[in-house]
Amino acid sequence: MTATATRTPSAGPPEGSAVLPPLRIGRHVIGSPVVLAPMAGITNRAFRRLCREYGSDGAPGASGAAGGSALYVSEMITTRALVERNAETMRLIEHDPEEDPRSIQLYSVDPATARAAARILVSEDRADHIDLNFGCPVPKVTRRGGGSALPWKRDLFRAIVGAVVEEGARGDVPVTVKMRIGIDADHETYLDAGLAAESEGVAAVALHARTAAQAYSGTADWSAIRRLKETVTSVPVLGNGDIWSAEDALRMVAETGCDGVVVGRGCLGRPWLFADLAAAFAGSSVRVSPTLGEVAGTLRRHAAYLAEFYADEGRACRDIRKHIAWYLKGFPAGSEMRSSLALVDSLASLDRLLATLDPSAPWPGEAAEGQRGRAGTSRHVVLPEGWLTTRELTPEQAAMVAQAEQSVSGG
């Protein structure tokens, strides 16, 4: 590992006392009860490899690689694109040989297409775990009735979940569901959806404790996670939202009783968060506090993994640009340097720029902590016409969603 660790006061139980048992997702036992949230354009094979390296052997206090293991989920895959074997989609569902379990998130608004996509993953041995996206708040998703808009239609939600669970069972591939509180404060769906998913046979449910209208703004309502945990009793309930540090994760578990956590924006430019989380859940107060030189080394390794993933150095450099501000948050890099890094077009130019940074600059502490990524503001949720009139699909809406699946992306 390129990152170092320093001891900080533990916010958890006595040193060495595990906070939670391993997370069980069907036949899979996840040593650290932590899940990498699917993020479009982020959680590709390159980023998952980086997070996995930290989460497995960069976790002081965890009992070896197994103790530090987490579940690392692919970015969202559109079922229609998978069924049509779109070349880019087929590349996105590839995994490193070391990835175990191989986890893929599917997005769908049509039960037949969802079933067909799940059948490909299971019958062709392309996944060991399938997650279903019912949390995306992006307008181009919700306007088709997908993502966080879909659980409002109870029959459609049950049909998609049931179809994928049935296909997964053919290969002992467990299925989980990730969702939001609802469309907005007046149209909550999470408790109904959690019970429906449980009865359809999912292996776990995860709740991002915001509504679609909130998108990523405001504060996640962790009390909703607690209510879901009290409602869904036979499978694990995972909490998501505003986990920026291992201490946040410990606090979420203490306040909600959830069985594990899902981490998204908190690990942007900070893959070593998985080492912190593994240590925290193992009862250790050790945290990773990298110097600027160590962060630069991680950034460079990320770029190299992207180049391998894309088999295209130029594309890898264009991709790494969006990660620059996240990696350098709080460090004394200067606006000119940040601007130059955001225009990098080759690994050689990246090396030249990184070499000018002060490698001894220490971890900046609070300046590097807290929210990462754009929060935005609350907004009106774009929905299909008449979507909120009834909780069941009308014949017109059924025809619409059957035609609605296209290559979309969201988070």
| pLDDT tens per residue, range 224-275 | 999 999 999 999 999 999 999 999 999 999 999 999 999 999 999 999 999 9
Active-site entry in 136, 258, 267, 317: 136
Share above pLDDT 90 across residues of the chain, in percent, rounded to a whole number: 85
Specify whether the CB–CB gap between 134 and 148 falls below 8 A: yes
Alpha helix positions (H), 210-291: 222-231, 246-256, 273-281
How far apart are the C-alpha atoms of 391 and 153, rounded to whole Å?
Answer: 5
> What does the domain layout of the chain look like in residue ranges?
19-289, 292-362
How far apart are the C-alpha atoms of 242 and 231, rounded to whole Å?
Answer: 22
How far apart are the C-alpha atoms of 28 and 45, rounded to whole Å?
Answer: 20
Q: What is the DSSP letter of 103?
A: E
User: What pTM does this model have?
Assistant: 0.92
How far apart are the C-alpha atoms of 153 and 147, rounded to whole Å?
Answer: 11
Residue 154 has pLDDT above 50, yes or no: yes
Q: How far is CA 278 from the centre of its chain?
A: 16
b/e burial code for range 142-159 (CB count within 10 A of at least 16 → b): bbbbbbbbbbbbbebbbb
CA triple 363-70-374, angle to 5 deg: 55
**CATH superfamily to which 19-289 belongs:** Aldolase class I (3.20.20.70)
How far apart are the C-alpha atoms of 153 and 176, rounded to whole Å?
Answer: 18
Q: What digits encode the pLDDT tens for the residues 84-103? A: 999 999 999 999 999 999 99
Helix (H) / strand (E) element for 328: namely: helix 324-328
How far apart are the C-alpha atoms of 150 and 246, rounded to whole Å?
Answer: 32
**Is residue 317 annotated as a catalytic residue, yes or no?**
no
Could you give the dihedral angle defined by the CA atoms of residues 205, 208, 212 and 216, in that order, rounded to the nearest 10 degrees?
A: -160
What pLDDT is recorded for position 408?
53
